[in-house]
Structure 1
Amino acid sequence: MSHSLKVATIGGGSSYTPELVEGLIARHHTLPIKELWLVDVEEGKEKLETVGRLAKRMVQTAGIDMEIYLTLDRKEALQDADFVTTQFRVGLLDARAKDESIPLKYGVIGQETNGPGGLFKGMRTIPVILDIVREMEERCPKAWLINFTNPAGMVTEAVLRYTSHRKIIGLCNVPLGMKMGVAESLGVNAERLDVQFAGLNHMVYGLDVFLDGTSIKDQALAAICDPDNQQSMINITALGWEPDFIQGLGVIPCPYHRYYYKTSDMLAEEQQAASEKGTRAQVVQQVEKELFELYEDEALDHKPQQLEERGGAYYSEAACNLIHSIYTDQGDIQPVNTLNAGAIASLPYDSAIEANCVITKDGPKPLAVGELPVAVQGLVQQIKSFERVACEAAVTGDYHTALSAMTINPLVPSDTVAKPLLDEMLEAHKEHLPQFFATERA
């Protein structure tokens, strides 16, 4: 690898970009990134320019040798890149608002990465990711693709299944958030903890928890059920866990598991929130607006504290750590989305999983966990089936495959709900789902 690196960030106008820049600045002495290219689409041009100006101020204040380039030309940004990060949203927050609000009309959870919303976000996103990978094959075939774009597990699955590009790693802040949450509920420094993560993206479990190398799983399970320290994420209501249930489950669930284990409570809470303050997308639109007003301030030359309200805490921290570990052949352990390759015996060899991996210059090597516990294995397998059928629908644009994916998702109660819901969402997202409308379906 060259001694000066080029990173291309697709979706560079994202409000998260300042955190990425902060992480790259902090590691500059061992991760010599010379060029950071921020790319966006025409609709995101204004945001790209605002974020880009802030990024340039941050680099200048840090006094490091890193050039920031802003462009709408993706191919130019990808040329000879060493790392490509993707953090975009097809259809912007308006599409997310539809994903969250339409299912509620049918008495179904409306959520960005789970259920019908996750299906549609996947179907809008996967064709774009596959285009990016094809361009990478031409312009930077040796580059690593570090994908944040949700649904990260499904996106990783699609790249592994429908391209020959193996240098893809899906990244999520949930495991890091879970680890921080457990540390906080136990009152210990997170650096002393190791959590054995395994499962799928937004469906990952902590199979064991170690404090200074000794298992303290029982203490951790008790701590996360304590009503005084319910851990969740900014975008998921922290409905408390039933302690006896968690003890029986025997592993630590992630915040998204509330949608599956507390479906009716979460649906009721969502319906109430939607009527009182709008969907999460509408709340985020307001947070974004305020963030970009801050970013406009020419005196601002660092990441503002308010960014943490966006729900993506630790995202860029995770990305910078990952890039750094690949570049330096670190051999440390990080939870990422990668090819299973037998690490989780309960899941297909050729599928994407989220698990602890040793990070090397050749990428992540997943640590074997064997079979998942029986209590969680079935749900994980069901979601993997859903992801695979959803990927196929995204790639083929086949209506019947999409209906199958919608119906087998555990959050959709029946095919009689799935079909009208699918039809309404297809119509609502028509602009960003050309594969379904290329020929009028039978």
Structure 2
Amino acid sequence: MSGNRLTLVGGGGVRGPLFVESAAMRAEELGLEQITLLDVDEHKLRLLGGVAAHLARGHSDVRVTMTTDVREAFEGADFVVTTVRVGGDAARVTDERIAARHGVLGQETTGPGGFAMALRSIPVILRYAELLAERSPRAWLFNFTNPAGLVTQALRDAGHERTVGICDSANLAQHAVAAAHRLDANDLRPEVFGLNHLSWARAVRDQQGHDLLAPLLTDPGFRATTLQRFFPAELSELCGMWINEYLYYYYYFAEKAVAHTGAESAGRGREVARRNADLLKELARVGPGQHRDAVAVYRAYEAGRRSTYMSYAEPDSSVAGERTLGEGSEGYAAVALDLMAALTGGPARYCAANVPGEGRLDCLAPADVAEISVVADGTGIRPLPIGAVPEPQAGLIRQVKLFERLTVQAVAARSRRLAVQALMAHPLVVSFSRAAALADDYLAAHRDHIGEWR
């Protein structure tokens, strides 16, 4: 029997080599025969794909191929991971600038920045899903293209049922608790609820049902070595749960994030764009065949990029990008690969992912995609019961889900009116005047990617 085939859409992206290395390390567990890197940018695919292939060879004999042909990449695929940035780094910089001009946060997955990214991402990912359904209808699609939950909602609404949204942030509580207690993360049962980049972990239980998270949340040592350090102890006590780090932007310190980004001459988008351009220039200088030198260049780049993560939350600290308790180097790859292992007959996996809640989360409709605890095994991926959650969290979840739903509808209808309504619904925008101005600016700025809207 032939082995499994995995395709990475956006395989010429800067995180591609890390994903391929992680997959190669687990090739035997996953029964992997081939990893295909697909990208529309042949230059980036050649440079970063070369690094990825060399890293893979250090761990297994899995075959790594590269192509710009979508149909070729999807033929015979068992798993597809989508991680694309429509419009490239330039579009991200534009998104941030427009948001800043209107006095709101431009972070790329939340608020107006996430809205603008969704306008570009959803049509492209839907087209990929349609082609995958034609070529390999039994394949699973793991969406990491941002905004991951919103894009996954669009995929599910379009009938692509073998689709799951993945995000490493949703699983940090589980892994931090596992590291603190020296346990295997899969021996724990997390209780995660919310939306992508808008979620909380109310408990992380052992197999006897004891919550191991609550005592750690009041431990200063634990907090200092996890991303919970972004939030003061008073807030953690008020909330009583692990807080997804992106809630810093949304809810708990929005005005500070806006003030910090407004004071900068360049947002993180420009910084990342500069780093990415420098990486490609340096890899081109090293040239083909110099694999060790290329890997060294890439490793240095990756360490530098991590140093800018969540810099808004710790602008004066040198620890913003340091590795924290429970945070492994595999990142989102670990979530996807764990789920793949379970789907291919390995032990059942417990984690958090973005799937329809199916009534397991009281504040959302059954078809609403939630970031929620799931169990995966050979039969599929299923949400676990969460039930009722505190009203402060439930109210914010409902409000942002309204924004997501309206955004999906706006993209489907290419409707400016629905775009304005979506932005008005978002808690970081709220006013009609600001929403209308943002919608007009984003629709004009990205016309080449999204076409004309009514």
Return the TM-score normalized by structure 1: 0.88
Structure 1 residues without counterparts, runs of 5 or longer: 233-237
How far off is 1:61 after superposition? Answer: 3.6
How far off is 1:153 after superposition? Answer: 0.3
Aligned partners of 1:230, 1:386: CA distance in 2, in Å? 30
Aligned partners of 2:20, 2:369: CA distance in 1, in Å? 28
**2:51 equivalent to 1:54:** yes
How far off is 1:178 after superposition? Answer: 4.0
Aligned partners of 1:81, 1:227: CA distance in 2, in Å? 42
How far off is 1:125 after superposition? Answer: 0.6
The corresponding residue for 1:5 is: 4
Which residue identity lines up with residue 148 of structure 1 in the other structure? F
Q: Deviations over 1:300-353 (max 9, x none)?
A: 286726425445951222222222221124212021111211111211101111
The corresponding residue for 1:247 is: 237
Q: Contact 2:168/2:332 (CA < 8 Å) preserved in 1? A: yes
The corresponding residue for 1:176 is: 171
How far off is 1:208 after superposition? Answer: 1.1
**2:261 equivalent to 1:270:** yes
Q: Contact 1:197/1:207 (CA < 8 Å) preserved in 2? A: yes
Q: Contact 2:3/2:31 (CA < 8 Å) preserved in 1? A: yes
Report the CA distance shift for 1:410/1:5 in structure 2 as closer, same or farther (over 3 A): same
Aligned partners of 2:281, 2:448: CA distance in 1, in Å? 29
**2:111 equivalent to 1:115:** yes
**2:338 equivalent to 1:339:** no
Q: Contact 1:54/1:295 (CA < 8 Å) preserved in 2? A: no
In structure 2, the residue corresponding to 1:334 is in which secondary structure? strand
Report the CA distance shift for 1:91/1:215 in structure 2 as closer, same or farther (over 3 A): same
Q: Deviations over 1:60-88 (max 9, x none)?
A: 34351x22221111111111211111010
In structure 1, the residue corresponding to 2:247 is in which secondary structure? helix
Aligned partners of 1:361, 1:212: CA distance in 2, in Å? 21
**Aligned match for 2:291, one of 276, 296, 299:** 299
Aligned partners of 2:10, 2:268: CA distance in 1, in Å? 20
The corresponding residue for 1:289 is: 277
Report the CA distance shift for 1:334/1:227 in structure 2 as closer, same or farther (over 3 A): closer
How far off is 1:223 after superposition? Answer: 3.6
How far off is 1:140 after superposition? Answer: 0.6
Q: Deviations over 1:186-206 (max 9, x none)?
A: x54464665321111111101
Residues 39-438 of structure 1 mapped to structure 2, 5 A cutoff: 39-41=38-40, 44-64=41-61, 66-162=62-158, 164-180=159-175, 187-189=180-182, 191=184, 194-210=189-205, 214-223=210-219, 228-229=224-225, 231=227, 240-259=230-249, 260-272=251-263, 274-275=264-265, 278-292=266-280, 295=283, 297=286, 298-300=290-292, 304=299, 306-311=301-306, 314-434=331-451, 436-437=452-453
Which residue identity lines up with residue 86 of structure 2 in the other structure? V
Q: Contact 1:209/1:220 (CA < 8 Å) preserved in 2? A: no
Report the CA distance shift for 1:269/1:191 in structure 2 as closer, same or farther (over 3 A): farther
Which residue identity lines up with residue 142 of structure 2 in the other structure? I
Q: Contact 1:224/1:231 (CA < 8 Å) preserved in 2? A: no
Aligned residues: 421
The corresponding residue for 2:313 is: none
Q: Contact 1:11/1:39 (CA < 8 Å) preserved in 2? A: yes
In structure 2, the residue corresponding to 1:62 is in which secondary structure? coil
The corresponding residue for 1:235 is: none
Q: Percent identity?
A: 29
Structure 2 residues without counterparts, runs of 5 or longer: 310-328
Aligned partners of 1:226, 1:358: CA distance in 2, in Å? 27
How far off is 1:3 after superposition? Answer: 3.5
Report the CA distance shift for 1:342/1:308 in structure 2 as closer, same or farther (over 3 A): farther
Q: Contact 1:224/1:230 (CA < 8 Å) preserved in 2? A: no
Which residue identity lines up with residue 151 of structure 1 in the other structure? P
Q: Deviations over 1:270-325 (max 9, x none)?
A: 112x32xx111111123323444565542328672642544595122222222222
Which residue identity lines up with residue 104 of structure 2 in the other structure? V
RMSD over aligned Cα, in angstroms? Answer: 2.4
Q: Contact 2:375/2:382 (CA < 8 Å) preserved in 1? A: yes
In structure 1, the residue corresponding to 2:242 is in which secondary structure? coil
